[in-house]
Amino acid sequence: GEDVEQSLFLSVREGDSSVINCTYTDSSSTYLYWYKQEPGAGLQLLTYIFSNMDMKQDQRLTVLLNKKDKHLSLRIADTQTGDSAIYFCAERGATSGTYKYIFGTGTRLKVLA
Amino acid sequence: GAVVSQHPSWVICKSGTSVKIECRSLDFQATTMFWYRQFPKQSLMLMATSNEGSKATYEQGVEKDKFLINHASLTLSTLTVTSAHPEDSSFYICSPLGIYNEQFFGPGTRLTVL
């Protein structure tokens, strides 16, 4: 079945780069997403990448996609304390035409001042 | 961007009571609505998918008689947790599907059942 895995924790110092990794299993995934969730809040879409791309950059965020290895990463440059949150990757395939999202387990990023 | 609201944002209820959670897409119409549940320190788990005017499709392990979903209009969907028990305490998030099949997310409703 579909499965999306992430490491659970990441701790970095303010100003350093953060790299959050994600692996997925559904080769039919058309879009892959990164969401940010702050404590007690809903999900905020950060960025997404289409499956025929291998890189996308958006200000401090860089997404890398290795479709062969089904590996996705999110790099946050110049990480700030306000970036402390849980980050979820999600894949969206076209299984049964439902466009169902499968979320990863989430990576809790802690930024140390 | 799309605006999605949920009401209430936080609710505490006694065991055995029912709780209704409303989800509204404020500036777009959503034919399809997803409802997710998130337990503490866990990921989002899809509970059900509903299409406006149709019965919801529930994921395996989710009791349809316990989690009643109504999607009577293109801007409003409700999730009713019937006869709630402490194990139903969770963060419930709705997610309407936009016209380009992008998913938007509500801010979530935290349910605590005593």
Q: pLDDT tens digits for A56-95? A: 999 999 999 999 999 999 999 999 999 999 999 998 866 5
Query: Cα distance from B41 to chain A (closest Cα, Å)?
Result: 8
**Alpha carbons A32 and A101: distance in angstroms, whole number:** 9
Pick the closest to residue B108 from B22, B27, B26 (CA basis): B22
Cα B72 from Cα A42, distance rounded (Å): 24
Token couple for B37: 């549940």
- pLDDT per position as a tens digit, B62-84: 999 999 999 888 999 999 999 99
Name the residue among A27, A19, A10 with its Cα closest to residue A85: A10
- Tokens 């980050």 correspond to what residue? A87
Kindly indicate the confidence band of residue B18, based on its pLDDT and cuts at 50, 70 and 90.
Answer: very high
Give the DSSP H/E element, type plus range, for residue A103: strand A101-103
A36-46 average pLDDT score? 87
Q: Angle at the Cα of A1 (from B49 to A9), degrees rounded to 5?
A: 90
Nearest-angstrom CA–CA distance, A64 and B10: 37
Count other Cβ atoms within 10 Å, centred on residue A49.
Answer: 19
Label residue A99 by pLDDT band (50, 70, 90): low
The residue with tokens 């890189």 is A55
Suggest the residue from B24, B97, B103 to mutate for an interface test with chain A (most A CBs closer than 10 A): B103
- The distance in angstroms from the start CA to the end CA of chain B is 37
Range of weakest confidence among A12-26, A97-111, B49-63: A97-111
Q: Find chain A residues with C-beta within 8 A of B110's C-beta.
A: 40
Count other C-beta atoms under 10 Å from residue A93's C-beta: 19
> Rounded to a whole number, what is the distance in Å from the CA of B109 to chain A's nearest CA?
9
C-alpha A4: how far from its chain's center? Answer: 10
B106 close to A37: Cβ distance less than 8 angstroms: no
Tell me the C-alpha distance between B8 and B53, whole Å: 23
Mean of the per-residue pLDDT values of chain B = 91
CA distances from A55 to A24, A74, A106, B102 (A): 17, 10, 21, 20
Please judge whether A43 and B43 are an interchain contact, meaning their C-beta atoms are less than 8 angstroms apart.
no
CA A92 to CA A27: how far, in whole Å?
Answer: 10
